[in-house]
Amino acid sequence: MKSDDIIANNIPCHVGLILDGNRRWAKENGFSSGLNGHKAGYDNLKNIADYAFNKGVRNVSAYVFSTENWNRSKEEVDYLMKLLLRMMKRDIKELHRKGVKVLWLGTKVGLKPDIIQAIEDAILKTEKNIKGTLAFCLNYGGHQEIVDATSKIISKGYKAEDITPELIEDNLYSPELGPVDLMIRTSGEQRLSGFNLWRCSYSELVFTDKKWPAFTNEDLDIALEEFARRNRRFGGDAQPG
């Protein structure tokens, strides 16, 4: 069977992306500031997500800013917030035109009101789009998501004996996303860093040495083919793709 056929018959529903290596890419390519890497990475996310949707992927979640990233320099944090605001206010028109639905996974704590408003406006504007869903993991932490889900459950009056995995899943950020089938991390690092901890319990993991801005459509094809060739067991018998 040809590679294209293998991929087409076993497309993951949800692909998670840990966008790592932006600053190192900028340094390796002669830029004076690592901030240039974030701009290149931001542009590449739009391209890769669009390509993934055209291949049949339904959901793409991107780890764009973690709750730990506030510890970076003020200059870098401010630059990243400006990029995110631009995405939500200006470039959302392009995503909307292409039929992409936008979701947000994260906490409001620490975000400025204009960022929150822009995200909420983008979600509302694109809520009926059906080409694919692009979920921004922004101000996101895997532990924090589970803490927030637990708090939400308690506030609804559930008792300890009512708690089930399904109930927790229903109270995660944007629960309609479902589990991550394929998780890709760039730049040679091999860890989750708190990304989608609940949803990644049975994810197939693919790590690449490519820095995120250098990650291409062909690299995604390689990851999709790797996913398609694996036997997913989910703790029991093997299941294809």
Check if the beta carbon of residue 36 is closer than 8 Å to that of residue 110: no
Q: Is the pLDDT of residue 1 over 70?
A: no
* Cβ atoms < 10 Å from Cβ of 237: 7
Which H or E run includes 77? helix 74-86
Residue 8's pLDDT band, with cuts at 50, 70 and 90, is low
- One of 3.40.1180.10, 3.30.930.10, 3.30.450.20, 3.30.930.20 is the CATH number of 11-141+180-229, namely 3.40.1180.10
Q: The pTM is what?
A: 0.91
Question: Do 63 and 195 touch, CB atoms closer than 8 A?
Answer: yes
Q: Could you read off the pLDDT of 22-78 as tens digits, one per residue?
A: 999 999 999 988 899 999 999 999 999 999 999 999 999 999 999 999 999 999 999
Domain-wise residue ranges, the chain: 11-141+180-229
Give CA–CA dist 60/53, Å, rounded.
8
Tokens linked to 72: 């970076």
Confidence of residue 241 (pLDDT cuts 50, 70, 90): very low
3-state SS, residue 70: helix
Residues labelled catalytic: 20, 69
